Amino acid sequence: MSTCRSASGKASRRSILKASVIAGAGMTLITPFGWTAKAQDDGYTIAFIQGVIGDNFYITMDCGARAKAEALGNVTIDTQGPERFDQTLQTPILNAVVQSKPDAIMMAPNDAKGMIAPIQAAIDAGIPVLCVDTTIDSDIQLGDVATDNVEGGRLAARGLAEQIGGKGKVFVVNVKPGISTTDLREQGFREAIEQEFPDIEYLGQEYCDNDSNIAAQIVSARLQSDPDLSGIFGTNLFAAQGAAAALRQQNLQGTVKMVGFDAGPTQVQDLKSETVDLLIAQHPGDIGEIAVGLLAEYLASGVAPDPKELVTGSTIVTRDNIDDPEVARYLYVADCGSYQLANAEPLPQAGASSEAEATPGA
C-alpha cells in the first residue's frame, strides 16, 4: 500500500453520519463525498477490476468477493481485468466500467501514479472507488484494503536468512517500478536484511515485468554472474514461479534457497518438490470479503471505511506446516468451487500477525 496519505483526507464514521442528509424514509442519502447511497432493497452492482486476469491471487480475491456478496444477498459482482499488469490495458477497462455505471468499483490499480487520473474520472462520474491489493499515490479513493506488504517483506527476509544460516548473498526478483505492493515488499525485505543480518549481502533487485519467463532469464543470468549466490526472494507469484524454474533448470534447488511471495498452486507444488523453501501467503480471499462488505455498507448508509487504510496479514508456509488447516486455508485457489466464506476482518493495526504468520515452520 502507498504511504502517501493526507490526514485531512480521512473522514470518520461519526463525521460522515453527521454530515449526511436524510430526506426521509426510503429516500436517498447524500454523503460529503458526493456519492448518493441507494436504498438497500435495490441491490448493488460492484465492479471488480483485477490487476491481471488468470492470476490465482486475484482469482482467490474474486472468490472472497463473491462469497461475501452471496452472503449479503443483495450484491452482484462483475469481474474483469487486463491480460497483463499494464496501466495502458487497465485504463480502457476502467473507462468502459464507468460507462456501465456500477454502484461501486473495487480495483487493483496497475500503477501508483498512472492510474490516478482514470480513477478520478470514475469518482467524478459519481462512482466510489475502493483500492484492493495495490493502491495509488493519492487520497481520492474511498479507502484501501491490502496486505501489510512491508511486514510481508520482513517476514520473507527473516525466513530466507534462516534458510541460509544468516550469511551469504541474496537477491530480489521484483515486478516493475511503481507498483505499490511489490515496491513495499522489497522495501521491507531490504530493510530487514540490512538492519538485522550484518553477514548477509543484499545484491539488489531486477524487474521481470510480471512475466515468469523473464524472471527465469534474470535468475539464470544472476547465477552466472554470482555463482556463490545464497538466496532469492521473488516478490509475487510470477517472479517466484520464474525464479524457481531457473533453479530447476540448473539443478540448484535446495542449494540456492528460495522464498516466494504468494501461494498459488504452482508455488505450492514448488514448495512440496523442494525447489522453493518458503512461501509468504497473502490473504486475498479476506481482501475480497472485506472490500465487498465495506462497499455494501457505504452504499447503504454512507459510512466510509475508518480507518481509511485497512490491512490483512501474511502467513508463512513451509513443508512442515502446509497441511495445517489454519495455514492451508490461505493457499490460493484456481476456481471458487472449494472457497468457503471466512467472515474476514482486517488486522487491528499494521504489522499484527498470528503465530503461524510470525513463526517459520509453525
Question: Dihedral angle at the C-alpha atoms of 72, 144, 329, 241, nearest 10 degrees?
Answer: 130
Q: Mean of the pLDDT values across residues 313-320?
A: 95
Q: Pairing between strand 104-107 and 129-132?
A: parallel
Element (H, E) at 99: helix 87-100
Q: Report the pLDDT value the prediction gives residue 86, as an integer from 0 to 100.
A: 95
**β pairing state of 168-174 and 200-207:** parallel
Q: What own/partner pairs with CB < 8 Å and gap ≥ 24 does 137-142 have?
A: 137/2, 137/4, 137/112, 137/113, 137/180, 138/2, 138/4, 139/4, 139/5, 139/6, 139/9, 139/308, 140/116, 142/33, 142/294, 142/295, 142/298, 142/304, 142/305, 142/308
CB neighbour list of residue 86: distance below 8 Å, 6 or more residues apart: 110
3 state DSSP class of 107: strand
C-alpha grid cell for residue 68? 461475501
Under 8 Å CB-to-CB from 104, ≥6 apart: which residues?
Answer: 44, 45, 46, 47, 127, 128, 129, 130, 295, 298, 299
Residue type, 237: L
Task: Give per-residue pLDDT as tens, 133-185.
Answer: 999 999 999 999 999 999 999 999 999 999 999 999 999 999 999 898 999 99
Is it the case that residue 241 has pLDDT exceeding 90? yes
Q: Would the pLDDT of 11 be above 80?
A: no
Tell me if 306 sits within 8 A of 12, measured CB to CB: yes
Number of C-beta neighbours around residue 67 at 10 A: 22
* Contact residues for 221 (Cβ-Cβ < 8 A; gap 6+): none
What are the structural domains of the chain?
7-145+284-312 (3.40.50.2300), 149-262 (3.40.50.2300)
Can you tell me the distance from the alpha carbon of 25 to that of 34, in angstroms, rounded to the nearest whole number? Answer: 20
Q: DSSP letter string over 275-308?
A: S-SEEEEE-HHHHHHHHHHHHHHHHHH----SSS
Confidence of residue 17 (pLDDT cuts 50, 70, 90): very low
Q: Which three cell numbers stand for residue 106?
A: 473495487
Average pLDDT over all residues of the chain: 88
pLDDT of residue 39: 56
For the ranges 30-39, 215-224, 340-349, 350-359, the lowest mean pLDDT is seen at 350-359
Cα torsion 53, 57, 58, 62: sign: positive
Report pLDDT for 209.
95
With bands split at pLDDT 50, 70 and 90, how would you rate the model's confidence at 348?
confident
* SS3 state of residue 30: strand
Q: What pLDDT is stored for residue 34 in this prediction?
A: 53
What are the CA-CA distances from residue 167 to residues 92, 151, 185, 233, 294 (Å)?
47, 21, 21, 15, 44
Predicted pLDDT at 319: 96
Residue 354 pLDDT exceeds 60: no
pLDDT of residue 38: 60
Confidence of residue 265 (pLDDT cuts 50, 70, 90): very high
Q: How far is CA 1 from CA 7, 115, 143, in A?
A: 16, 14, 11
Report whether pLDDT(226) > 70. yes
Res 22 pLDDT > 60 = no
| Whether residue 92 has pLDDT greater than 50 | yes
